[in-house]
Structure formats: structure tokens, C-alpha cells
Structure 1
Amino acid sequence: MKTLRKGAIVGPVVGALWLLIVATAVAVAMSFATGNAFRPGLAGSILLGVTLGGAALTIRNAWLLIVTGAIAAFMMTAAGIGAVQVGDGVDTVQVALASLVTGIGAGWPLSVILARQPTGEMTRHEFEEVLLRFLTGFGYIFFTAIVVIPFYVMVMTSLKSQQALLANPLDFSVDLSKGWDLFRSYRELFEDFHFGSYLWTSFYVSVLTVLITLLFSVPGAYAVARLRFTGRAAFSRSILLIYMVPMIVVALPIYIVFSVTGLRNSIFGLVLIYPVTTIPVSLYMLQGYFRGLPSEVEDAGLMDGLSRLQVIWKITLPLSLPALASVSLYVFMIAWNEFLLAFMLLDDPSKFTLTRGVAMLNSSEVPRQHLMAGAVIATVPIMVLFLGLEKFMTRGLTAGSVKG
């Protein structure tokens, strides 16, 4: 196989690029965590990266590479040429912590990226393996950062006092000595802004939306998947056409109709309109799953004297629990997070959903930390629910992808 690169060149180059990524991540994380000035150092990152990248080709012990990287990072930072530069007022403990994290974030990944790679000529396969490992590590750091940083800023801001925000809006560290007083914004939201009522309203509206959606989508999807009728193929292909029309286009007609019929500013109106947006996607998801179920099981039930409805209730639905769980979770999240219709149709604060209540906090009269606390309250329940039921959602979405 044709050789492409020398490992002695690839190792230092990969090390320098990786250290630039790690130094940036550590500097951002330490700045957010401490409120002090940390920034990546270009010269220090390249120097340390070249050193560790070359060492990773000969030092196969990951722990030894981590310790070497941490010590080198600390010494370089103390000398003012570190991969992570520090500003005034940063104590030795924070410098040591930044160096330790840099050493771990550099040494261990480089030992994995450059594992078993030769110092001499590298084959195409070996070079591509190093490249893929490097890109995989970069992807982990990048996508974790874009998800975690906004959530971290939101949570830390919700724990700040008005005085602290006015003093330094970019300081996202918190004073743990305040104890339970850190959660003052959350307490005030429930006591003064009635967020308990908003949570309950969003919960039962979302649950009712799930029940109504399943009530219509299960028989509809079963009919498309199993029965033969005129227009079946056209109906199956046109299920998702409603999503080709942006909600903002139909929002004004919905507002006019609901105003004329007296359904505006009514929770009942939301329960009527939400399933309109969720039933099509539920039909699409469930029909694919139903097609993947063996029809012989249902035929056996019909031969035993069961009616079609009994077959659906006793055979099809029990076999479809993963799909029903994933559809229910998906519909619940849509209803929980829906904002546009709730914003247009609800004016009475006593009937606000959670998203409508959070939007109410976006005012110059309401402290910024209250808005962030409201966003956390709206995000955490659905996040916990998704993480707890994610395996059911994944199983339900993929189970109907292969027929047979």
C-alpha cells in the first residue's frame, strides 16, 4: 500500500492542532466558571502540542502522557507562555486547575488519536485512522460546547442577583456561600409570577394533546398500513403536506376564526388546535411501524374470531408500545414547547402556558435573572423526560424502518 506521510511529522502537527482546540475549550470553561480572564495562547499551544504530539508516538502510556502534559502546561503557564494565558488576579490554584485540565484534555486524547501509529512512514489507512480520530474528538468538543455553554449561561444567570448582574454581566460564576438564597429568582417566580399554574397548564394541555393525537392517529395509521381503500396511496403520500405550510402563514386565519367563535383566550381552543399540528407526523411515524409488524399475527387473531378492533387492541397495540412511546414523547415535546399559537391566542395570565409565561418575563420591568430562571424551569422537565425515555424514542423511530 502506498505510503503518504511520516508519523514523525503527522504526530506534532496533530498535537499542535489538538492543543489549540483544547486550550480554547479550557480557557472558555475556566472563564465561565471563575469569572476571571483566561484565553488560549497561540505560541504556547503550538509548542506544547508539537511536544506532546511527538511524545505520543513513543510514550504509549496514557497516564504518563497526561502527567507530562499537565506539568509542562503548568510550567509554561507560570512562565507566561502557556497554552492557556491568564490575566491579573488569577490565583495559583486556578492556574494549576487549568494546567491539569489542559494536560488531561491533551495527553489522553492524543494517546488515543496517535495510538499504535509508527514514527516512520504511514500507510493511507493509518493516516486516515488518525484523521478520523482527530475529527471525532473535535466533534465531541465542538457540539458539547454549543449545547452546554448556552445552558450553563442560562443557569448561572438565573442564580445571580441584580447587583451582581449590573456589576459584571459577563461574570457567570456564583457565590456558593449564599446557600438557598441562590434560588431566590425561582422562589419569586412561583410566589409572585404564578409559574406553578403555568407548569400545570402546560402539563395537562400536553397530555390532552397526546391522548387526542393517539386517538386519531392510531386508527388512521393502521388503516393506511393494513386496509385497502380508494385513495389510500394518495392519502399516505399527502400526510405530511401540512408541514409544507409554515405555521406563521395560517396563524392569522386561526386567530380570526378563534376570535369569531369565542375560542380565543381559552385552553380548550389550544387543545383543539394543537392536535392539528401533531396528528400528521404521528400518522406518518405510526404507519411505517405498523407496516413493519408481521401481518400473520393479526391474521391469526382474525381466524380465532377476533374483530378488527379487537385485533388492534389486543395484538397490534401491545406490539407497538415502543412506537407509541416515541410518538407520545415527540407530541408531548411539541405541545410543551409550542409558543406561537399560545402567544397569539392567550391574553389572560391565569391561562398562560409555560412558554407564554416565559415570554411575559421578557420585559424591562422584570429582572433578567427571572427570565433565565423561567427558561430553566421550561427546559429542565422536558429535558429530564427526554433523557429518561430516549431509548424508547430511538427504538420506536427505527423499529419500523425495516419491513419483515
Structure 2
Amino acid sequence: MKTFHHAYVTGPVLGALWTFVIAVTVSITMSFATGEPFRPTLILALLWGAVIGAAAVHSRMAAGIAALGVAAVGLLGFGPILSGDTVSPFAQIVGHGAMALCAALGMVSIMRNAPKGALTRHEFEEAVIRFLTGFGYIFFTAIVVIPFYVMVMTSLKSQQALLQNPLDFSIDFSKGWGLFRSYEELFRDHGFGIYLLNSFFISVITVVVTLLFAIPGAYAVARLRFKGRAAFARSILLIYMVPMIVLALPIYIAFSTAGLRNTIFGIVLIYPVTTIPVALYMLQGYFRGLPAEIEEAGLMDGLSRLRVIWKITLPLSLPALASVSLYVFMIAWNEFLLAFMLLDDPSKFTLTRGIASLNSSEIPRQHLMAGSVIATVPIMALFLGLERFMTKGLTAGSVKG
């Protein structure tokens, strides 16, 4: 193992692995962006990666020169990635240049502060950790970005383009607003405007109802003393031990008998049942972490218990309330099983139920992808907006505390 504790061994080994990772990443990116064939080559990627790794150990300038060389041989067909004969010269230059640049910059960062000779255990582990960190960033980013990218690009395609080349995920900007034809047809012909409003209304009501029940319940578990308190606190999440699919038939029968099936009220009634336990569990843990002395001071000043909760506990709990609200909203927004089981009237469909109705051989695939984008974007926007609110709530809570 000590053999690897030398810069001119560690550098080439990590360089070979890193360059192969970059080659795979750039190949996938260029294939998606241009619709042309790019593919990594294992042997050449490892070989040129070892060269870049050794150069990065020597100096940054050497790494830059090695990157230029790798880009040049790549254009000649002997680089870490190969491109088809139909690929345009510009795309080839961008692909090979990006691959060489990212490989060189990554190795310079991985091997920074490393001496040219023997490495201490700390220096060796630091280089390996940097490599694993970079690999982790690329891997998990790809897992998140690639499906969303494919979904968005497919939604912008025409039926003819999908039939000609289903794997072409490039964008033809010459079509202008025609790219959004699928979205227009969804709102015009499939009632997605109604689905969007229904989902928003149901999700907001679910959040409100959940907080109305979860806040006093969580506060009681965290602060009050009553018989069975410990057992109740431990059994909050027991409902999640029963899969929802097991409860589907009883819920369907009960709602059909009560006349609640195929109604918005029925959905609003059942959704909080699935969200109150987790909200109660999250909030009671946060309430326990708040200083009890502040609430006791409020009680001594003549405030009632409800006023203490309203004036002291809730302002200090804004970060937790924001997190719980976001989590509950996401559960309600993305819920499918109950909506699919209880809703048959298209005028009452939620987004997830509406998207399921698009899963038909008679409806173009790009419509299904466009519906998925419509369902995903609001949640992403809400999360980004609420993240700032959570930061403000955390600051306000720390000042009040």
C-alpha cells in the first residue's frame, strides 16, 4: 500500500480514474446536447488520464500542456472519447476541449499541495478524498439532472421528431414558441389548468389542516404531562407501518358508502390522515429543543398557555414550521394512489391523476412528459422560495431566543 504513497503513482492512478469519469460525463452531455454519438473509450481514457495525472503532479503548466495534447489527439480520433463521422467539427472541438479541460482542472485540484515525491498518509488520503468528492458530485448530479433533462427535452419535441430519433434530446430553437406546443395542448385540450388549481388548493388545505392538528398535539407531547404520554410519543409513526395499498380497499368502500368518493372534500379529508403523524413527530422533536424557561417566563407574566404558544413558541419554531409545511405540501402535491382510487371526474383530477390519464397509446409521449414538467416545476420553485424563508425564520428564532 505504501507504493501508492508517492505523488507520481497516486497522480497517474487518480488521473486515469478521474479522466474516465469525465469522459463518460462529457460523452453523455454532448450526446444529449447535440443528438450526435459520443462515447468514452476505457483504455485510452485511462492512458491519457495517467498522463494528465502525472503532469498535474509536476505543475499546473504541465497539466495545461497535457490537456492541450489530449484535446488534439482526441480530434484525431485517439482521445478518451470518440465521436461519430456525422458529428460537426464544432461539436467535436467542444467535446474534446471540455473533456481535456475538466480532466486537467480536476487533477490540479485533486493533487494541489501534494509534493512531487513521497506522500504522507494525510496527503494521500486528502487526494483520495478530493477525488471521491468530485466523483460524488458528478454522480449524484447526473442522477438528478439527466432524468429531468430527458423529461424536459422530450416535452419540447414533436411527434415526428420523436419517431425519427427517440434518443435525440437536442433543441431546435428555430421552432420558436412552437417548442411549447405540447404545453399549450395540455392546458387547452386536456384541462391541465383545472388539475393545477385542484392540486394547489388541496395541498394548501392539507398543510393548513395538518398544522392545525399537529401543532397543539406536538406541543402537548413535548411540554405537558399526562398519562400515556410516553406511549403516545412512541406510537406516533405506527400508521406508517401499514402500507397505504393495504388500506386502499377499506378507504374506497368507506368513501363510496359515505358519498365522499369523487369529491374534493373527500380528498381533503383523507390527505391529512397521512400527513399529521409525520408532522406531529417532526414538530414535537423541535418543541422539545426549545428552552422551556422562556415559556415559563411567559406564564409567569400572565399569559395563558395558548398565548404562550402563539406569542413565543410559534415564532421560535418558524424553521420547523416551514420545513413541515414544505414536506406536507410535497406529500399532498405528489400523492397518487388515493387520487387515482377516489377520483373519476376529470374536473376534480389532481395533477398526478391527470398525468396518469395521459398514459395512453392514443396520447403522444411528449404530452406525458410535459405534464410531468408541469407537476415538477412548482415544487422546485416552492422549495427554492421556502428555503430563503427558512433561513429568515431561523435567524428570527435565534434573536428571539
Q: Mark yes or no: TM-score above 0.5.
A: yes
Aligned length: 396
Residue equivalent to 2:227: 230
Alpha-carbon contact 2:35-2:170 (below 8 Å) kept: yes
1:208-219 matches, within 5 Å, as 208-219=205-216
Structure 1 residue ranges without an equivalent (≥5): none
Separation in 1, partners of 2:65, 2:117 = 23
Residue 246 of structure 1 and its aligned partner are, at CA, apart by 0.9
Q: Specify whether residues 4 and 172 from structure 1 end up closer, same or farther in structure 2 by C-alpha distance, changes over 3 A only.
A: closer
Residue 88 of structure 1 and its aligned partner are, at CA, apart by 1.6
Separation in 1, partners of 2:184, 2:66 = 45
Residue equivalent to 1:142: 139
1:93-108 matches, within 5 Å, as 93-108=90-105
1:256 aligns with 2:253: yes
1:276 aligns with 2:273: yes
Q: Specify whether residues 70 and 121 from structure 1 end up closer, same or farther in structure 2 by C-alpha distance, changes over 3 A only.
A: closer
SS where residue 39 of structure 1 aligns? strand
SS where residue 347 of structure 1 aligns? coil
Alpha-carbon contact 1:323-1:395 (below 8 Å) kept: no
List per-residue Cα deviations over 1:135-175 (Å, max 9, x = no partner): 11110111111111110000000000000001111111121
List per-residue Cα deviations over 1:376-401 (Å, max 9, x = no partner): 0000110111122235568989x99x
Q: Which amino acid letter does the alignment assign opposite residue 55 of structure 1?
A: A
1:88 aligns with 2:85: yes
Residue equivalent to 2:198: 201
1:346 aligns with 2:346: no
Residue equivalent to 1:44: 44
Separation in 1, partners of 2:3, 2:337 = 58
Alpha-carbon contact 1:60-1:115 (below 8 Å) kept: no
List per-residue Cα deviations over 1:30-68 (Å, max 9, x = no partner): 00110101000223212221111001011135xx73x43
Q: State the superposition RMSD in angstroms.
A: 1.9
Q: Specify whether residues 203 and 334 from structure 1 end up closer, same or farther in structure 2 by C-alpha distance, changes over 3 A only.
A: same
Separation in 2, partners of 1:349, 1:326 = 32
Residue equivalent to 1:318: 315
Separation in 2, partners of 1:395, 1:257 = 44
Q: Specify whether residues 325 and 104 from structure 1 end up closer, same or farther in structure 2 by C-alpha distance, changes over 3 A only.
A: same
The normalised TM-score by structure 1 is 0.94
Separation in 2, partners of 1:312, 1:336 = 29
1:292-371 matches, within 5 Å, as 292-371=289-368
1:6 aligns with 2:6: yes
Separation in 2, partners of 1:173, 1:60 = 35
Separation in 1, partners of 2:148, 2:66 = 30
SS where residue 57 of structure 1 aligns? helix
Separation in 2, partners of 1:198, 1:41 = 47
Q: Specify whether residues 91 and 70 from structure 1 end up closer, same or farther in structure 2 by C-alpha distance, changes over 3 A only.
A: farther
Separation in 2, partners of 1:118, 1:254 = 67
- Identity of matched residues, %: 69
Separation in 1, partners of 2:281, 2:188 = 43
Alpha-carbon contact 2:75-2:93 (below 8 Å) kept: no
Separation in 2, partners of 1:4, 1:52 = 17
1:50-69 matches, within 5 Å, as 50-60=50-60, 65=63, 67-69=64-66
Alpha-carbon contact 1:70-1:99 (below 8 Å) kept: no
Q: Specify whether residues 3 and 52 from structure 1 end up closer, same or farther in structure 2 by C-alpha distance, changes over 3 A only.
A: closer
Separation in 1, partners of 2:379, 2:77 = 45
Q: Which amino acid letter does the alignment assign opposite residue 216 of structure 1?
A: F
Separation in 2, partners of 1:127, 1:391 = 39
Alpha-carbon contact 1:201-1:351 (below 8 Å) kept: yes
Residue 338 of structure 1 and its aligned partner are, at CA, apart by 0.3
Residue equivalent to 1:265: 262
Residue equivalent to 2:171: 174
List per-residue Cα deviations over 1:307-332 (Å, max 9, x = no partner): 11111111111111111111111100
Residue equivalent to 1:35: 35
List per-residue Cα deviations over 1:107-145 (Å, max 9, x = no partner): 111011011112221121111111111111110111111
Residue 69 of structure 1 and its aligned partner are, at CA, apart by 4.7
Residue equivalent to 1:110: 107
Residue equivalent to 1:125: 122
Separation in 2, partners of 1:108, 1:114 = 10
Separation in 2, partners of 1:271, 1:142 = 39
The normalised TM-score by structure 2 is 0.95
Alpha-carbon contact 1:39-1:86 (below 8 Å) kept: yes
Name whichever of 76-85 and 176-185 sits farther off.
76-85
Alpha-carbon contact 2:27-2:81 (below 8 Å) kept: yes
SS where residue 364 of structure 1 aligns? coil
